[in-house]
Chain A
Amino acid sequence: MRRNKFLMTAGSMLAATMFSASSAYAACATDGLPGTMAKPGGFPERSLAMIVPYGPAGGSGQVAQAMAQAVTELTGVSINRDHKPGGSGTVGMTAYLAMPTDGYTVLEHIDDASSAHALDSGRPNPAEDLIPLVISQITFSQIYIRTNEDRFTDWDSFVSWVKAQDGKATIANVSKEGSMERINMKYLTDSTGMKIQQISFDKGAPRYGALAGGQVDALFEQPGDVRKFLDSGTFRPILTLLHSRPGVFADVPSLKDAGFDFEPLLRFRGFYVHKDAPADRVEWLQWAFQKGFCEPSYQAFNEKKYMNLIESYRDTAGGKELITGTIAQYRQVYKELGLEVK
């Protein structure tokens, strides 16, 4: 009962997401913001630093580069990226919190920061200990199979086949217990009653290679990360973890089509500043990063990454709402999983 109530709340959030997506194409989300903004007290007088808790080649590294470029194009202020990978983002977050809170250092982070706080409230809460400047990428997940697969051809035949394997079927996924990917897979297996062995890959290339090479039967991933395989016809999606079908994937069944009522968790990436940073500097950074989202170079980047299929933009208030809702959803699931929530 309590879960149903919670899911309805989360559902309304997602519905808002989809609704705002429909208007996103008419005008960019931050077109209403002023085109220029005076530097408060001369800030920033020098380059900004951006801590990125992941390597330069992955999704975070790429979005950090694209946003840094966009902000520089807009303001003329350069941003030096400092990659501190490790510990699923913990190392980068720790390093960031040790930096001076003068507004000169910003942080890129993904929803892992929210799930980490959900599991252990001693970890920083991105909505309270940090100020989200902008959430600039929000995306959904899909289940993929090889295009030349002949054992199953769509979601229904896949589920039937998996059930017939009695737990021997495999799907490539990311590794961390309690991650967005694992929770979404739990929703799917609970809803269908299928048993499928998840194989843990923490890097993209071996994960995609495992499906392409026939080492696993399916893949859980977000469309932007496997776009090249979709464009080349190597993989194809058989289920979209949303309640409606995005236009690009109009022929792929959604959760609603497949008869599921759970609310999927989304992947999101954004940029933050420390909550103790001076207010006038925060305001300037909010303007720069939110406006940066609408720079042509950033919009082109998001489009290339399929990050325009649902509304990818959240300002500070929207970001806090997204993070707070996500943390609550993670906590609920962790308790159901029997994980110790601190």
Chain B
Amino acid sequence: MDAYANFINGTITLFSDPMGILIFFGGVVGGMLFGAIPGVSMLTLAAILLPFTAHLSAEHGIMLFSVIYCTGVYGGAITAILFNIPGAPENAPTAFDGYPMTKNGEAGRAVGAAVMCSAIGGTVAAVIMMLATAPIANWAISAFGPPEIFALVFFGLAVAATVGAKTLWKGWLSILVGLLIAVVGMDPVGGIERYDFNMPYLLAGIHFIPTILGFFAVSEIFIQAEKKATGSFKAPKISVDFPSVAELLAHKVAVIRSIVIGFFCGVLPGIGATLAAFMGYNEAVRWSKDKSQFGKGKLEGVISSETANNAATGAAMIPLLALGLPGGALTAMMVGVFQMHDMEPGPLVFLNSPDLVWVVFSAMFFANLSILLVGYLETKTIINLLRIPFQFLAPLILLLATVGAYAVRGLVIDVLVMFIAGAAGFFLRRSGYSLAGIVLGLILGKIGEQTFAQAMQMLHFEWLGFLDRPVASVLIAAAFLTILSSIYSAFFKKHTQ
């Protein structure tokens, strides 16, 4: 009841102030636009706006960033679906099925599903956030230490091996390639320099954003260019038909599952929306009766990924507000906004500035809802970009992808990585290996290596120590069961064919 009254008060405060309304809608539109333009992202917008928030009130500054966070995560889905260019890493799994849907003439259905599921995932997470921020935050940091996070990563990798590759073995090889790439650079535990070949820039490691841009956007340009040259190119059909409500209801289990996964990943400091999207997608594949359709344009793939990543946005605010622990780059910038106003996120915010907290909660709730309206209008116009002839669109995409790769860290090596990944992707996509698996190996490899090393230090280098921790035990057992069942399926399938 208190939460309800606080929510109403927060809403009244938010919408009774013209400046607040202006900033709210500015954040909604800005987040979507920057999320949707390849090469820039919501982080770019946030970095540009950060110094200016000093001139806003604390409520307006923090509310603006939280709104950008909600809508920016959605915005990146549009380019992932239309052009195979994820606007942000958390939209990468959306491209796995979203782009094939575009090629199948179902761009409208894919974008429509992304609009609705982003709104649903984000809104539900915002409600949970309002109801139980403090207890959830305390539970998350108590129940999930490095051993549990490593076990979660291990489980994620076990599931990922079954995604996107022609055979299980190629799936595992794809994952292992990703893990191998992840060890380039300085190791996260002792600072040991590895595989740098005396090139200092390699010490920073191979970043997954240029890899994603190369694997998905650049290799796609190469493939389409080849088709153009050989006369087999077909322009994607334009469709603005949204999925029906009945169609979405048919995927209610996937939506609920992804909300749980997204919320769960988002609430863990340092994990966030990217892992949430991949885990949401992986679980959709794992529980599907027809796994073979994933990667070929299955609506459930888009639904699972987009629901999970937006659910993670609300969840990521929980450790930030309740404990002062940012879960990712944008929430870390929010700490900067707090500090500009002589505040620190954490338990004292709830005591000292409850009005601010509830304005932010209300803003996030309505920002997620507004994805429905603004996203609908935006989608109807942006899909028309597909009408641009390939010979004009391809150089534009390459240019934007190049800018996007460079913008991550300001390093030319990231652009080279993108083009190398593009060339590799061109060949790997024909050979039955999973580009998604490589990307996931790269992303999870970095988290997994670090948490594994931390876990071993915590467990005093005793492997069996994992078994003393119930959550870690369950996740590791689930991972082994997944591996065994996939091996059994592969073996059984081979011998019955």
Contacts and interface: CB of A to CB of B under 8 A. Distances in A.
A163 interface: no
Interface in A138-184: 167-168, 170, 175-179
Of B138, B200, B344, B410, the most chain A CB neighbours within 10 A belong to B200
A80 to B, nearest CB: 11
Nearest to A226: B324
Contacts of B200: 87, 90-91, 93-94
Nearest to B145: A215
A217 to B, nearest CB: 10
Contacts of A58: 332
Interface in B323-338: 323-327, 329, 332-333, 335-336
B142 interface: yes
Dominant secondary structure at the B interface: helix
How many interface residues does chain B have, given as a range?
A: 35 or more
Contacts of B393: none
Contacts of B201: 86, 91, 94-95
A217 B140 CA distance: 17
Interface string A208-232: 1110111110000000000111011
A69 B55 CA distance: 14
Interface string A2-33: 00000000000000000000000000000000
Contact of A231 (B51, B270, B325, B348): B348
Interface stretch (A100-108, A128-136, A197-205, A319-327): A197-205
Contact of A65 (B51, B141, B329, B410): B51
B141 A209 contact: yes
Contact of B411 (A62, A95, A176): A95
Nearest to B338: A228
Nearest to B270: A206
9 contacts: A56-B47, A84-B410, A87-B204, A95-B201, A95-B410, A206-B325, A208-B324, A227-B344, A232-B324
Interface in B187-215: 188-193, 200-201, 203-205
B326 A205 contact: yes
Given A95-B201, A177-B191, 18 more contacts: A57-B326, A57-B333, A84-B411, A87-B204, A88-B191, A91-B204, A168-B460, A199-B457, A200-B190, A210-B141, A213-B138, A213-B145, A215-B146, A228-B324, A229-B346, A234-B346, A304-B339, A304-B342
A210 B145 contact: yes
Nearest to A68: B51
A261 interface: no
Contact of A200 (B51, B186, B333, B454): B454
B344 A231 contact: yes
Interface string B146-165: 10000000000000000000
Dominant secondary structure at the A interface: mixed
B185 interface: yes
A201 to B, nearest CB: 7
How many interface residues does chain A have, given as a range?
A: 35 or more
A178 B411 CA distance: 27
A176 B191 contact: yes
A62 B458 contact: no
A178 B186 CA distance: 14
A229 B141 CA distance: 15
A199 B345 CA distance: 25
B269 A178 contact: no
A40 interface: no
In the A-B complex, list the 3 residue pairs whose CB atoms are closest, starting with the nearest.
Answer: A86-B204, A87-B203, A213-B141
A215 B347 contact: no
A123 B326 CA distance: 33
A272 to B, nearest CB: 17
Contact of A57 (B143, B185, B332, B460): B332
A205 B272 CA distance: 13
A83 B346 contact: no
A212 B323 contact: yes
B348 A232 contact: yes
